[in-house]
């Protein structure tokens, strides 16, 4: 959620971004993209949270946007309009983002004066019956001057039902200095939805997924069953790419043009180049670099590996920590045994190599161009160019053993 909001604020060109967190929220700090962190020591309300950010605003005299971290879908267009609304008249005015909701959730209500400006904000728990009937709700997004913020924040009191310092008291405090609060109303109810539960999170995730799918199709991708495809916010999909049903994209996936992702595949941290066909039921893990016209079939897993142009791995195979040259065929059941229990090791396979079925490549190992690895072989040392490598034990066949074994067990059963 934070990443979505940060990207939007960065997009509108904010000079400085301050993120207020509770103590020991390391996971949030790690998601802050290097921006300033302010700590709110105790949860004493939104006004107290903004007060925690004031030291980081020393020397700043521009506009300040105050936004909620659990409202990730605010658009750059809406924030730009909120800033513009603040500047409609006097320089010391401020603006608040409102939305008409019916039925109304547990949002604060925007109570307007006769001239249409905001008179004050009443939190839901403090509303009278008449105020609770108001449908114009506070989203929690404000724009005001840094000087005004420094002047008005210390004047907030906690005389309310929750004994908290409400940032929503600011408009009434500012009015004493002659400042007016302008209301910018958004018609997009989805972008002002917050997250207070797992259910809320699921609703927003569905909305984001629909946006991402529409964006991909508008850019020239074909989604056979859009509602079954799960995208990530940073998924890049080239023109004329086809994505079949029930495909999941994790972070950092780039698909070039004319790629075909077949059903039930999972991709994360992968770059798939033009003409490649992936799946069905394929898994590309982080570090997968799939070359042009590569074919990755069903139940093939690739991790931290580069597959050059025209490589084919049709089914039931594992390619991990490897580089495979152009034109190589990687057959059913073949694996790179890349982990020795302590460290990962790399397998290097040249161009136009034939890796037979059920081959074990014990890394680190190198297979030179044009080599042929016979089915069922376990290879732990280098194979020279155009060589045949085969490791099989001599078969032992005992005539009639199966019949004698069945007869013996039938007697035991009686």
- SS3 call for 412: helix
CA distance 66 to 51: 11
Look at the block and give the residue holding tokens 């999909």: 237
If you ran DSSP here, which 8-state letter would residue 184 be given? E
Q: Tell me the angle at which helices 2-11 and 76-86 cross, rounded to the nearest 10 degrees.
A: 60
Tell me how far the alpha carbon of residue 169 is from its chain's centroid: 35
Q: What number of CA atoms fall less than 13 Å from residue 378's CA on the CB side?
A: 4
For residues 92 and 145, the answer to whether their CB atoms sit within 8 Å is yes
Here the tokens at position 29 are 């700090």
Active site residue 184: no
> Which listed residue (4, 117, 257, 315) is catalytic?
315
Q: Is residue 98 within 8 Å of residue 78, measured between CB atoms?
A: no
Instruction: Name 167's Cβ contacts closer than 8 Å, sequence gap at least 6.
Output: 45, 46, 47, 49, 50, 66, 142, 156
HSE-up of 294 (CA within 13 Å, CB side)?
Answer: 31
Beta-strand pair 270-272/254-255: parallel
212 φ, ψ to 5°? -65, -40
**Catalytic annotation, residues:** 315
């Amino acid at each position: 959620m934070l990443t979505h909001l940060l990207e939007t604020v960065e997009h509108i060109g904010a000079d400085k971004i301050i993120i207020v967190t509770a103590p020991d929220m390391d996971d949030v700090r790690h998601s802050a993209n290097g921006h300033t962190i302010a700590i709110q020591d105790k949860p004493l309300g939104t006004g107290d949270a903004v007060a925690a950010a004031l030291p980081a605003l020393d020397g700043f005299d521009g506009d300040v946007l105050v936004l909620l971290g659990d409202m990730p879908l605010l658009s750059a267009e809406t924030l730009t309009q909120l800033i513009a609304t603040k500047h409609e008249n006097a320089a010391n005015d401020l603006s608040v983002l409102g939305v008409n909701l019916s039925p109304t959730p547990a949002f604060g209500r925007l109570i307007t004066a006769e001239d249409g400006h905001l008179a004050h904000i009443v939190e839901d728990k403090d509303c009278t019956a008449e105020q609770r009937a108001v449908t114009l709700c506070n989203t929690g997004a404000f724009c005001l001057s840094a000087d005004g913020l420094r002047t008005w924040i210390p004047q907030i009191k906690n005389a309310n039902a929750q004994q908290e310092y409400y940032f929503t008291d600011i408009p009434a405090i500012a009015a004493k200095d002659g400042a007016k609060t302008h209301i910018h109303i958004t018609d997009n109810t989805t972008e002002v939805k917050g997250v207070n539960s797992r259910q809320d999170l699921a609703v927003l995730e569905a909305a984001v997924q629909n946006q991402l799918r529409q964006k991909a199709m508008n850019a020239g991708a074909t989604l056979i069953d859009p509602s079954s495809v799960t995208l990530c916010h940073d998924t890049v999909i080239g023109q004329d790419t086809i994505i079949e049903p029930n495909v999941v994209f994790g972070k950092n996936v780039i698909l070039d043009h004319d790629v075909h992702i077949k059903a039930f595949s999972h991709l994360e941290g992968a770059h798939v180049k033009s003409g490649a066909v992936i799946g069905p039921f394929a898994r590309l893990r982080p570090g997968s670099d799939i070359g042009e016209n590569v074919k990755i079939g069903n139940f093939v897993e690739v991790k931290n590996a580069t597959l050059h142009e025209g490589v084919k791995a049709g089914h039931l195979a594992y390619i991990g920590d490897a580089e495979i040259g152009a034109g190589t065929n990687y057959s059913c059941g073949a694996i790179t045994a890349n982990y020795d229990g302590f460290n990962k090791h790399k397998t290097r396979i040249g161009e136009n190599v034939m890796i037979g079925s059920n081959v074990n490549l014990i890394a680190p190992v190198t297979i030179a161009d044009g080599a042929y690895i016979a089915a069922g072989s376990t290879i732990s040392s280098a194979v020279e160019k155009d060589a045949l490598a085969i490791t099989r034990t001599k078969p032992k066949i005992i005539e009639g053993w199966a019949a004698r074994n069945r007869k013996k067990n039938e007697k035991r059963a009686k």
